[in-house]
Structure 1
Amino acid sequence: MPKAPLPHPRHEDTLPLPTVSEEAARARDAALIAPLPSAEPEEDEERGGEPDAVLPQAPQSRPGRQDSRTARNNVIRPGDLICGSCGQGNAPARRFCARCGFELREAQVARTPWWRRLLRRRRGPRVVELGTGSGLQDDPAPAPGGRLAAFWVRLKAVLGIVFCLSAMLYVSYAPFRSMVNDRASEVRRTATGFIESQYSPVRPAKVTGPSAKARGTENLIDLNTASYWSVPYTAKDAQGKGKTVLIVEFDRLVNLNQLIVTPGAGDEFTQHGRPRQMILTFTNEKQSRVELQDSAEPQKFSLNDGLATRKVTIEFTDVYPSAKGEDVAVAELEFFSLLS
């Protein structure tokens, strides 16, 4: 029995397949494949990673840097830290400048001017008893001793101004300068007289040594500068000691603190040699070297080693020569002890 024929499909139930060319299919398949890395990096690694040479280019202008710092404040209060970069005053607690950010570790501290410190009124802590006062701050009570401190500050300011004016007047006005110099000399003489009055003269019992006729050693202690002692002067001997030696003796132990020497022969000062250097040896074997000036005025010398002594040996080691002869002359020797 023959088979019945299949029903023919309807047109609206099936869709025709699109027709694609072979080249389009290959292009579609190639787009779905991931691209392989290029071989250029491998070539760069083989060359050692050196970049290609680049020709010099023209410099490019950079945009100007905008200053973000705050405005500078020229009012610097005492105690502020002055920035070493921009000069800005900063609070003492800051570590970096508020204007430029510079570190303030070594910043200079602003100080109060000297004239303001001088005129500043110093006040102590305010003390108010409980239960007293109106509670108003208009009339604060002065601290204990505040009045005296304020008076002392003002007094120092006045004295400083007077001193400055006096110094200017001393430099510019000759009569005022002469008056000040005279007063200073008078005060100096008064002080010198007071100091000298504290010394007591010590009279030697005798003086022995070489002497010439009518120019004996007694003239050294007669308190008369018109008379003098004079002998020929000889240089040192082979042992290095001077041959012209005086021995001054006292009748008791004394403390010698000062010596006054009047060199020369009074009115005949230039006709005789004058002592230039003397060495004093005391009983305690201590020595003092005396250097004299070529002057007829009395010359004072301090004796630091003449304590508890009874005899003083005076050795003339050098003299100022005269034109008429080789001798040495001394008008007076005076010893003093400091009063206790």
Structure 2
Amino acid sequence: MVIYRECGHQGPADVEFCGECGRYLKWDDEEPVAVRQPVAQAQVVQPAEPLAPVRQPPQRTAEEQVLRPGDLICGRCGKGNVPTRNFCGRCGASLAESEVVKTSWWRRLFRRGPREHKAGERPGKDGVRRRVGRAGAARRQVGKAVRRVIAVMLVLSALIYALYQPFRGAINTAAAGLWSQVTGIFETKLNPVRPSKVTANAQSPGHPGNLVSDNAKNTFWAATAQGEPVLVFTFDHPVDLRKAIVHSGNGANFQAAHRPKTLHLVFSTGKTYDMVLADTPDAQEIPIENSAGATSVELHVVGLHRSLDGMDVAISEIELFEAG
């Protein structure tokens, strides 16, 4: 270590800028001379005010360097600096926001060096683990070997899963079954509920409103599409509806009548909910919300999938389910 004549700070002799104040130390025309600190007499070094160089340092060719974990990478010239420096040793730039060299993930996984204790710590003091003998060392070696085997097995399993379709299918099937079992524990059980009465504000001859809840797919409720057809379901107890299964249209001739596109539900509690239906003859499962405590619900047909053949709107069946 030497003391720089220009600023009075102490540091290594092979750097171009002071690590404390950032002063350039090696002008071409006036090369600074590093004065060695006397051994016999301790010298108190007073920090100097940071001084910016008045001219740019000479350009130098890039040199190879070995970066170690914890080194500070200069954002201006890319040189690695020890963590104790405040300014770059090559260009003098501030290292306040420099990038820190990190240890590679694979080194952290497969190598774990000895723990460095802080000043004042020693094994067995204040929770610091004591050194162990041969048995402890053997256990650590076994633990390292087990971790490496597990890591290799995980990598091989991932490769087999990605490349071998039967293995991937078996894993997916097992995962789906496990997920179904887990979610089944937390899902609310739903029970079918039938209305005690079904009425409609409009209906075509031979197709009254109660046919939407007769548990038959070959019958249907039909009403003129003029205005706003409404079905009213009345229950004999307060319900908390969670799901509906809807069969739209005329079951025997799907294109013979309009199909509902949107059903606006108005519950006896005053709350509402909209069910949006696809234009398909297949059964559709639609979630229901906001119905807790309702004793009746009105189903307003407010949107249609239109037919080219018929003039009425038709619904074959509506099945309702409440929380159990």
Please tell me the TM-score bracket, short chain as reference.
0.5 to 0.7
| Percent identical | 33
Aligned to 2:285: 300
- Native 8 Å contact 2:188 2:323 kept in 1: no
Cα distance in 1 between the residues matched to 2:73 and 2:86: 11
Q: Deviations over 1:187-215 (max 9, x none)?
A: 78778888887211111111001333442
Aligned to 1:78: 69
Number of positions where the alignment pairs a residue of Structure 1 with one of Structure 2: 261
Cα distance in 2 between the residues matched to 1:178 and 1:136: 49
Q: Deviations over 1:30-54 (max 9, x none)?
A: xxxxxxxxxxxxxxxxxxxxxxxxx
Cα distance in 2 between the residues matched to 1:101 and 1:137: 47
Cα distance in 2 between the residues matched to 1:276 and 1:213: 23
Aligned to 1:316: 301
2:207 corresponds to 1:219:
no
Q: Deviations over 1:53-85 (max 9, x none)?
A: xxxxxxxxx99x996989945221111111223
Pick from 253, 261, 265: which aligns with 1:280? 265
Structure 1 position 122, deviation (Å): 8.6
Structure 1 position 98, deviation (Å): 3.2
Cα distance in 1 between the residues matched to 2:141 and 2:270: 63
Amino acid at match of 1:278: L
- Closer, same or farther: CA 174–154 of 1 in aligned 2, 3 Å: closer
Aligned to 1:108: 99
Amino acid at match of 1:290: M
Structure 1 position 217, deviation (Å): 2.3
What secondary structure does 1:318 align onto? strand
- Native 8 Å contact 1:69 1:100 kept in 2: no
Q: Which has the larger radius of gyration?
A: 1
Cα distance in 2 between the residues matched to 1:81 and 1:260: 65
2:222 corresponds to 1:230:
yes
TM superposition score normalised by structure 2: 0.65
- Closer, same or farther: CA 216–195 of 1 in aligned 2, 3 Å: farther
Summarize the alignment of residues 37-56 of structure 1 with structure 2, pairs less than 5 Å apart: none
CA RMSD of aligned residues (A): 4.2
Structure 1 position 153, deviation (Å): 5.2
- Native 8 Å contact 2:236 2:295 kept in 1: yes
- Closer, same or farther: CA 116–225 of 1 in aligned 2, 3 Å: farther
Cα distance in 2 between the residues matched to 1:261 and 1:69: 79
Cα distance in 1 between the residues matched to 2:273 and 2:236: 22
Structure 1 position 183, deviation (Å): 6.4
Identify unmatched segments of 5+ residues in structure 1: 1-61, 130-134, 237-241
Aligned to 2:22: none
Summarize the alignment of residues 150-189 of structure 1 with structure 2, pairs less than 5 Å apart: 154=148, 157-158=151-152, 160-162=154-156, 164-166=158-160, 168-169=162-163
Cα distance in 1 between the residues matched to 2:96 and 2:281: 68
Identify unmatched segments of 5+ residues in structure 2: 1-27, 32-56
- Native 8 Å contact 1:128 1:141 kept in 2: no
Looking at secondary structure, tell me which structure has more helix per residue. 1
